[in-house]
């Protein structure tokens, strides 16, 4: 249908036009202005070339300023526990928070890779003599998968109230629809008390973002 230095076959243009119309109606789910009907319903293209999703930005955010949001008391050295396990009993949650994700995860290989989200975190603690390393992870209990792990240090001084540096989880498993998340902490030594003061979960389909780039060979569905 296509030969160098020759006219394009009309069928090529027909197919390209159909794809453009499909894109228009896929994205907007509306007939083109002036048209009285919509020929192609918004639908999924993942079985062939796939593509990136439109990131929605913030999926969840909570912050307590200098106050505590969730109170954690380590259940023992090297043992993971819910970040709110020392809250007032009735305010302890088996699910720390819920977030709605727009990304789809159809398929198991590139270019439609399973999406991940980012999670920004900050914690507050009081030092009690012994230095400790606190590990942080986010469990997606909808998928029964856990994120990567980041750590911060509690120094070995005494009576100093301080904050962790800003922390970022970059591989939080997530799936389309509502997701249940459980924020978990672990100490490498005894049972320190740690307060979560800030949590934000983000979709960010940026260069290094939550959704991996498509590896399809043709940017707009080759013929």
Partner 1 sequence: MSFVTSGFQALKWSLYQIARPGKFVLASSLFHNINGLFEAVTGKPAPGAGVQTVAGHNHSLQGGFPVFRSYVGGFDTGESIGYTLTGVSAVATPVPLCDKSPAFRAYVNPAVTDLLAGPPTLECKAYVILTNAGGTSSDFKFTLRNIDNGTNSTTTTETVPSGTTVSKWIDISGVDVGKGGWVGYDLLGGFTGTNGTIIVTACILAETQATVTTSTGVKYDSATATTRP
User: Residue numbers of the site for partner 1 (CB under 8 A)?
Assistant: 7-17, 20-25, 27-35, 37-43, 54, 56-62, 64, 67-71, 84, 87-88, 90-93, 95, 97-102, 176-178, 196, 203, 220
CB of 214 to partner 1, least distance (A): 15
Nearer of residues 96 and 114 to partner 1, judged by Cβ = 96
> Closer to partner 1 at the Cβ: 18 or 153?
18
User: What is the DSSP track for 39-107?
Assistant: -S-----TTTT--PPPP-EEEEEEE-TTS-SEEEE-SSTT--EETTTTS-GGG--SS-EEEEE-----S
List the structure tokens of 22. Answer: 């499909």
Nearer Cβ to partner 1 (38/188): 38
Omega of the bond leading into 128 within 30 degrees of 0 (cis): no
Q: Which is nearer to partner 1, 76 or 98 (CB)?
A: 98
Q: Is 136 helix (H, G, I), strand (E, B) or coil?
A: strand
In angstroms, what is the minimal distance from the CB of 204 to partner 1?
A: 12
Tell me the backbone φ, ψ of residue 13, rounded to 5 degrees: -65, -35
Pick between residue 84 and residue 132 the one whose CB is nearest to partner 1: 84
Of residues 71 and 189, the one with the C-beta less far from partner 1: 71
Contact 21, 39 (CB under 8 A): yes
User: What is the nearest approach in angstroms of partner 1 to the Cβ of residue 82?
Assistant: 12
Q: Whole-number minimum distance, CB 23 to partner 1, in Å?
A: 6
d(CA 45, CA 206): 21
CA distances from 77 to 66, 112, 124, 134, 141 (A): 27, 39, 19, 10, 23
CB 10, min distance to partner 1, A: 5
List the structure tokens of 105: 């995860």
Main-chain phi, psi angles of 125, to 5 degrees: -150, 165
- The minimum distance between CB 9 and partner 1, in angstroms, equals 7
| Closest to 151 (Cα-Cα) out of 121, 181, 180 | 121
């Amino acid at each position: 249908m296509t030969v160098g230095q020759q006219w394009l076959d009309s069928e090529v243009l027909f197919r390209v036009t159909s794809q453009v119309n499909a894109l228009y109606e896929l994205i907007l789910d509306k007939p083109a202005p002036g048209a009285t009907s919509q020929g192609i319903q918004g639908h999924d293209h993942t079985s062939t070339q796939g593509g990136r999703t439109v990131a929605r930005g913030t999926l969840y955010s909570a912050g307590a300023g200098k106050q505590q949001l969730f109170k954690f008391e380590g259940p023992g050295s090297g043992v993971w526990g819910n970040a709110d396990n020392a809250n007032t009993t009735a305010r302890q949650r088996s699910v720390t928070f819920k977030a709605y994700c727009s990304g789809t995860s159809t398929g198991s290989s590139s270019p439609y890779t399973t999406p991940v989200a980012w999670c920004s975190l900050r914690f507050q603690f009081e030092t009690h003599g012994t230095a400790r390393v606190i590990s942080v992870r986010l469990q997606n209990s909808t998928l029964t998968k856990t994120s990567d792990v980041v750590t911060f240090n509690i120094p070995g001084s005494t009576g100093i109230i301080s904050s962790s540096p800003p922390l970022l989880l970059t591989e939080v498993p997530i799936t389309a629809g509502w997701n249940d998340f459980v924020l978990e902490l672990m100490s490498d030594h005894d049972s320190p008390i740690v307060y979560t003061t800030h949590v934000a979960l983000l979709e960010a389909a940026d260069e290094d973002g939550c959704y991996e780039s498509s590896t399809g060979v043709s940017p707009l569905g080759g013929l």
